[in-house]
Amino acid sequence: MADKQCVLLFVKAPEKGKVKSRLSLSMGEDAVLHLYECFVLDVMKMLKAGGIPFRVCFTPAEKREAITAWLGKGQTYLPQEGVDLGERMANAFQQAFSEGITEALIIGSDLPDLPHALLKEAFRSLHAHDAVIGPAVDGGYYLIGFRRETFLPEVFHGRTWSTNTVLPDTMGLFKRSAYRVHQLPEWRDVDTLEDLRALLLRNTQTDFRTSGTMTYLIQNRRDIFNE
């Protein structure tokens, strides 16, 4: 079954001023760009360490060469297609399932310290559930997944993304559809300076402390947090 599982990792081309816009207001575009690159590389390192198959779903589509030069030719790449995040996620699931994937999860790149154990729990849960979701602290979700036969594209329609209504609205639709949904533990993704500080503090004694993200934060702590 493992060869039919796939994580769809959503990333943006690393361009100054076009990644982590809320963090840029506090840190500046150059620092945020470097930090974003650390995030993506750390998430990919986690997936590889866990032996979890994944595809890099990138945007914009015309940046394939730049993305490949950055992350290497050894990855499987899939351009994101759609006018908003919901449509891009729905299309990514549909593309994966059309190619024979039977269980798929979507995660973003703002979860640099997410443990692969949670992804494995998510895949296991799909054996007995129709969907799996990972609630985020800010009222959204950091992970969503389906089996091919239970994919429900409607959960991606009509959402106001990056708001605290995303999770309750999604769960409401699941309930109306009589879906069995496994909820993972809550996790805090990184969108703001407060999120970044929490990431630093919770990993001072974890294995993640030697990551690229943590190394950069520790080396630049005074400039980032004005300490």
Quick check: 6 and 100 in contact, CB under 8 A? no
Q: How confident is the model at residue 2 (pLDDT cuts 50, 70, 90)?
A: low
pLDDT at 158: 87
Contact 132, 181 (CB under 8 A): yes
C-alpha closest to that of 180 among 147, 139, 135: 147
For residues 100, 54, 164, 186, the Cα torsion angle rounded to the nearest 10 degrees is 110
For 78-88, what is each residue's pLDDT tens digit?
999 999 999 99
pTM above 0.75, yes or no: yes
| Segment 147-198, tens digit of pLDDT | 999 999 999 998 888 888 999 999 999 999 999 999 999 999 999 999 999 9
**2-219: what CATH class?**
alpha beta
Task: Report the pLDDT averaged over residues 93-104.
Answer: 97
The greatest distance separating any two alpha carbons of the chain, rounded to the nearest whole angstrom, comes to 51
Which 8-state DSSP code applies to residue 2?
Answer: G
DSSP SS3 for 153: helix
Q: pLDDT at position 3, please?
A: 63
Tokens of 17: 């001023």
Q: 54-59 and 5-12: which strand pairing?
A: parallel
Position 28 pLDDT exceeds 70: yes
Report residue 92's pLDDT band, with 50, 70 and 90 as the boundaries.
Answer: very high
Can you tell me the distance from the alpha carbon of 180 to that of 104, in angstroms, rounded to the nearest whole number?
16
153 preceded by cis ω (within 30°)?
no
